[in-house]
Amino acid sequence: ACRAGWRGVAATQRRALCTMSALEAPPLPLLEEGIADARSARAGSPIPSLPPLPDSTMRYLLVLDVEATCDNPQREAHEIIEWPVVAVDCMTAEPVFEFHRYVRPTENPTLSLFCKKLTGISQEQTDAAEPLDVVLKEFDAWLVERGLIDPVTGAQLGQWAMATDGPWDLNHFTARECDRKGIPERAHLRTYLNVRKAFAKTYKLRSSRGCSLAAQLTRLNLKFEGRPHSGIDDTRNIARVLGAMLRKRSVFCLNPNEAADPNVPGRYLSVKFESGGGGVNTLLRGPKKARGARNKAKKAEKEAAAEAAAIDVYVSVKLESGGGLMNAASEGVRGPAMATGGLAETVLAALAPLQSS
């Protein structure tokens, strides 16, 4: 578990890192049903003083980890059935408030047995919930109440961003379902921090592949708290990982690093932000499928060029029953495309002495 990263850190600080989200104090009063401020940190736990944020004015990161309908094998399109959000204060690296709703699927309202066992969500919970369009409106109202979006235009106010563990929550599940159901697009759900990428860069890993939430917690010497694949529990644990990076004052988690493709729901782009928190939206690469098509085209061009430059050719010959070679032009010449043209006659003529010998 990344021992080098722990060198020079006081024991009290290490304990605080490992218990940063063990929130055992009584919850604050509910602001409305299903919406509550996060519990305050354990009374008496030492909270290390943190230096100012480097080159950033980011105030909040709103962690989201949805759950969606699923089956084994998957036959129908996914529909979101849980929308949990935990807001982390970048200044203190602590969770400060939560939003949590179950969502009623409308295309295939009956949950599979596999889905109920995996997520722990019951049919009764989704039947009693609102559909996704209503839940997103409630989420907007929650953001308005905290001064994060304009109540009239819905424009984002202040420095904050969504954060997810990978591109799937906002680009695969949310974007595709909203596009399929005609739910209005929200700008604040398009650009986000991919926590997995930020973690890989913070701890100098070669790639974010294989950098699952469980692997991230293990590297931080933390244990998963709650039930895996419960949306709210997954979100709280992602917030713990994000809090650890914020305590480390990692610059890689202070600005969004991905954005939804504006033309194709389900695809995403990598974006780069200038230091100081200003976004320049410089596209580093395009959608994966588009990149794959370009790579295939380049590979085909190289292969065609190699065939054009090739000089090695060979022909197919046919043996007669008596053992002699029969110069059958119908057998044709096998080799590079250009060789099968004018060189065919030359090569076949070169085989004529073999037949007479």
* Full DSSP string of 280-342: EEEEEE--HHHHHHHHHHHHHHHHHHHHHH----EE--EE-TTS-EE--GGG-EES-TGGGTT
What value does the mean pLDDT of the chain take? 75
Determine contact, residues 123/108, Cβ cutoff 8 Å: no
Q: What is the pLDDT of residue 16?
A: 38
Question: pLDDT by residue (tens digit) across 207-237?
Answer: 778 789 999 999 999 999 999 999 999 999 9
354: closest CA among 309, 312, 321, 323? 323
Which pTM value belongs to this model?
0.65
Catalytic residue among 98, 177, 229, 303: 229
- pLDDT exceeds 60 at position 332: no
Q: What string of DSSP letters covers 154-223?
A: --B-SSEEEEESSSIIIIIIIHHHHHHHTPPP-GGGTEEEEHHHHHHHHTT-S-STT--HHHHHHHTT--
Using CA atoms, how far residue 311 sits from 148, 317, 329, 335, 345, in Å, is 67, 19, 21, 9, 15
Q: Report which of 257, 224, 251, 242 is spatially closest to residue 62, judged by C-alpha positions.
A: 242
Q: Which of 44-58, 249-263, 334-348 has the highest mean pLDDT?
A: 249-263
Q: In the structure encoding, which two tokens stand for residue 192, read together?
A: 């986000």
Share of the chain above pLDDT 70, in %: 61
> Which of 64-68, 159-163, 208-212 is predicted with the least confidence, judged by mean pLDDT?
208-212
Q: Cβ atoms within 10 A of the Cβ of 325, count?
A: 15
**Range among 15-19, 30-34, 282-286 rated most confident:** 282-286
Task: Point out the catalytic residue in the list 24, 32, 67, 320.
Answer: 67
- Per-residue pLDDT at 331 exceeds 70: no
Q: Which residue has the higher pLDDT, 294 or 240?
A: 240
Rg, the chain, Cα only: 29
Q: Is residue 335 scored above 60 in pLDDT?
A: no
Q: What pLDDT band is residue 174 in, cutting at 50, 70 and 90?
A: very high
Residues 212, 260: Cα–Cα separation, whole Å: 21
Structure confidence by residue, pLDDT tens digits, 282-319:
443 444 455 566 677 778 788 878 777 665 545 455 55
Residue 229 falls in the annotated catalytic set: yes
238 pLDDT more than 60: yes
